Structure 1
Amino acid sequence: MRFLPAITLLLLFISCKKEIKPLTAQQIIDKTIENAGGKKYETATINFTFRDIKYSSKRNKGLFEYSRTYTDSIGEVNDVLNNDEFKRFINAQKIDLPDSTATKYANSVNSVHYFVQLPYGLNDPAVKKELLGEAEIIDKKYYEVKVTFAQDGGGTDHEDEYMYWIAKDNFTVDYFAYKFYTDEGGIRFRKAYNPRMVNGIRFVDYENYKLEPWQSVDLKTVDELFDAEKLELLSKIKTEDISVEILGNN
């Protein structure tokens, strides 16, 4: 009879061990978004400056408006992208643009907001996620999550590929890389630094690296090239003057 408690504990241990399942790519992304701000994104007004241009995004549970404002030789330019269309204003007057030009400007506005507010966009409907495995970068363990895009809703750059290295201990995007095919193409690898929370939403700056040649490089191996110091620092990407207002204090 004295062996019963030990047997019971052993059975409980085996039972608990069986119940522990590896996280899926979707679960990892969900935890990462929650850690960075979660539902606060859904009703947030976010203002920031990037490369001396002022940006603003407004969301209200599915509706969005992204804008940028700057002044050049023709006056004040205000670009506005929302769920329905892209519009350009010069000195407060709406300008008619060819469709190709409007698409180019819209993509530019969307791209800046997308990168600044990562990881929020990783649950967009067109995003396809795949957990490739785990890695270790500078003695820290990471999930490797590959992201591609469906053609329907994935934008003009839907063929681009991304790899995210998400910390296993606290679900932060510390590194990511992407392969793009426009403007002769290339690979970029970004290392996050200067993390900070602004009214409940996480922001980071990046060291931006490139490598040549890139055509035959698998994104999954770019972290190894970074560790081996085989990447070239191209620039530093800084987001400044950030302010966040949450509608309804979600």
Structure 2
Amino acid sequence: MLRSVLLWFVLLSLFNCKDNGPQVNKIESADDIIKKSIEVAGGNLFDRSEINFDFRDIHYRAIRDHGKFQLERRFRDSVSEIKDVLSNSGFERFREGEKVQLVDSLANLYGNSVNSVHYFSVLPYSLDGKAVHKTYLGSKEINGKDYHKIKVTFSEDGGGEDFDDEFIYWIDKEQFSVDYLAYSFKEIDDSLGFRFREAYNPRIINELRFVDYNNFKPASADVNLEKLDDLFIAGKLQLLSKIELKNIQVHVLN
């Protein structure tokens, strides 16, 4: 009888191990964590939305409609109103409503600038794209909270002009919010630059989550992207600027 009880206990334990195994892997899957963070931030509502906001005295407007997109910015230079438009068709600039002919280098420069602001404004939206590659780097405690640490890189095909930029996201293990991010990028002189951002002022506007950021940089370029969290914890990053989105309006499309 005792042998039967012990055998049943062993079989039950093995069954539970097999059952729990995929769940543990699922929790630690970078893809699943990113998908959960996108869902918490608003999920597929981003794919059918019109978002307006102001950033540093420039007005931005984004229309995303099931794969079609139009990202805009409007501002005045010294003489007239400028409207930049980045869409599935490419980049266009308008001055007082008239299209401006641009050389490719300027079109790429302005288009990347428009895309960058819109990209950061809705993170982690778009991190589940086909050109996005995620690597789980383990856990990290920052300011008393436990985070999933995930590295993101991009394929050259479909990864955009700056496909070789690298990102790291720290995602709260309980809330699945992106509370910190860091990235490397090429400076104008082709040297490598680094930024570390701390999210603050989270708010939900018409079911979509937005945050502002404290934008930090290391004192030296001789650093490792994956170690920027340690420098932040040690207070060895310099506050460069604040990324604040103002007057946010969200309209969900049908």
Q: When the two structures are superposed, what TM-score results if normalisation uses the length of structure 1?
A: 0.93
Q: Write the distance in 2 (CA, Å) between the matches of 1:101 and 1:140.
A: 43
1:210 to 2:217 alignment: yes
| SS of structure 1 residue aligned to 2:162 | coil
In structure 2, the partner of 1:21 is 24
**Counterpart code for 2:203:** R
1:237 to 2:243 alignment: yes
Shift of 1:203: 0.2
Identity over the aligned pairs, expressed in percent? 47
In structure 1, the partner of 2:230 is 224
Shift of 1:18: 3.5
- RMSD (Å) for aligned C-alpha atoms: 1.9
Alignment of 1:97-108 (within 5 A): 97-108=102-113
Change (3 A) 1:98 1:10: closer
Alignment of 1:124-143 (within 5 A): 124-143=129-148
Shift of 1:35: 0.5
In structure 1, the partner of 2:157 is 152
| SS of structure 1 residue aligned to 2:127 | helix
Alignment of 1:182-193 (within 5 A): 182-184=187-189, 185-193=192-200
Match among 189, 195, 203 for residue 202 of structure 2:
195
* Cα displacement string for residues 102-138 of structure 1 (whole angstroms, at most 9, x for unaligned residues): 1100000000000001000212222111111111111
Q: Which runs of 5+ in 1 are unaligned?
A: none
Q: Which stretch shows the higher mean deviation, 202-211 or 9-18?
A: 9-18
Match among 154, 168, 175 for residue 170 of structure 1:
175
Contact 2:133–2:155 (CA under 8 A) maintained in structure 1: yes
Q: Write the distance in 2 (CA, Å) between the matches of 1:11 and 1:233.
A: 52
* Cα displacement string for residues 208-247 of structure 1 (whole angstroms, at most 9, x for unaligned residues): 00013223x2211111110000000111110010011111
Match among 73, 88, 94 for residue 83 of structure 1:
88
Q: Which runs of 5+ in 2 are unaligned?
A: none
Q: Write the distance in 2 (CA, Å) between the matches of 1:235 and 1:19.
A: 42
Match among 77, 90, 97 for residue 72 of structure 1:
77
| SS of structure 2 residue aligned to 1:30 | helix
| SS of structure 2 residue aligned to 1:104 | helix
* Cα displacement string for residues 115-164 of structure 1 (whole angstroms, at most 9, x for unaligned residues): 00100021222211111111111111111111111112222212111111
Contact 2:169–2:180 (CA under 8 A) maintained in structure 1: yes
Q: When the two structures are superposed, what TM-score results if normalisation uses the length of structure 2?
A: 0.91
Change (3 A) 1:12 1:148: closer
In structure 1, the partner of 2:117 is 112
